[in-house]
Amino acid sequence: MKTIKRGKSDIKLAAALLFPSVFLVLLLVAYPMISNIQISFFDQPINPRLSATFVGLKNYIDILTDPAFIKSLGITLLYMILAVAGSTALGLAVAIFFNRPFKFRKIARSLIILSYVTPSISLVFAWKYMFNNGYGVVNFLGGDVLHLFDKAPLWFDNPVSSFILVVLFAIWRYFPYAFISFLAILQTIDSTQYEAAEIDGASAWGKFKIVTLPAIMPVLVTVITLRSIWLFYMFTDVYLLTNKVNILGIYLYETAFAFNDLGKAASISVILFIILSIVIIAARKRVKF
């Protein structure tokens, strides 16, 4: 009888300890999601005193048939793929280079992660300053020093150059996350595995494919998955850098707060959630770890 009472008391204690966390998750995650799905079926006015009008699937149909949404989705997917691939590859390359002892390694490691821990507004200001057509260092070096162009380009006023710079900014800004993750797992790999592969005549690429890649695969999948989610919903960096790259985060913001259409904005977020969930589930099923 005492054992049963102790078991029941343990369950009650566990429930009491878990309740605050469960309550916060329901309050901050579940309730907003359900409320957002509900709003997506209504023509929701900004003024809370005005009543909403039920429109059914009209918001979803309008969004899915809007050429601006399709174009924005394509730009976002391209931005996400290039930025994730670039930041992951660069982070892995730098991690492999740092996975050995050398002088001032700790200082160099600290300098690398600066771009990741520095506030976005500071980095955006620095980039806009560097590419300013009047006094930017990039135009000074490219035009006055190297003579690559006669007239200073308006980097952030052109859609193509703006997109390229936004992708480069994302790669430079977020590769330290991949670097830290890969370096941590690389330091757990036994050096004797590389020695055995070298004895078998494996090249540098062979050692990477046979030893390194299987060891880092769980981390690689996690990094790609998390970074894809973050960049798919990116808003701040692109919005602060330029108004010429209309990714979905900006499209959603303008729909909600420029056109005051909360119903369509809610339907956009639901559609994005479904798309991203399908992509991530499909990608993770292809990788066994």
**Domain at 60-285, CATH class:** mainly alpha
Each residue's pLDDT tens digit, 120-149:
888 888 898 888 877 788 888 887 777 777
Each residue's pLDDT tens digit, 174-230:
999 999 999 989 888 888 888 888 887 778 888 888 888 888 988 998 898 888 888
Each residue's pLDDT tens digit, 188-202:
888 888 888 888 777
Position 256 scores a pLDDT of 86
Position 289 scores a pLDDT of 47
Output the DSSP codes for the chain. Answer: -HHHHHHHHHHHHHHHHHHHHHHHHIIIIIHHHHHHHHHTTEE--SSTTSPPEE-TTHHHHHHHT-HHHHHHHHHHHHHHHHHHHHHHHHHHHHHHHHSS--TTHHHHHHHHTHHHHS-HHHHHHHHHHHT-TTT-HHHIIIIIIS---SS---GGGSHHHHHHHHHHHHHHHHHHHHHHHHHHHHTTS-HHHHHHHHHTT--HHHHIIIIIHHHHHHHHHHHHHHHHHHHHT--HHHHHH-SS---HHHHHHIIIIIS--HHHHHHHHHHHHHHHHHHHHHHHHT---
Position 29 scores a pLDDT of 81
Each residue's pLDDT tens digit, 231-264:
988 888 899 998 889 999 899 998 888 888 888 8
pTM: 0.83
Each residue's pLDDT tens digit, 266-276:
999 898 888 88
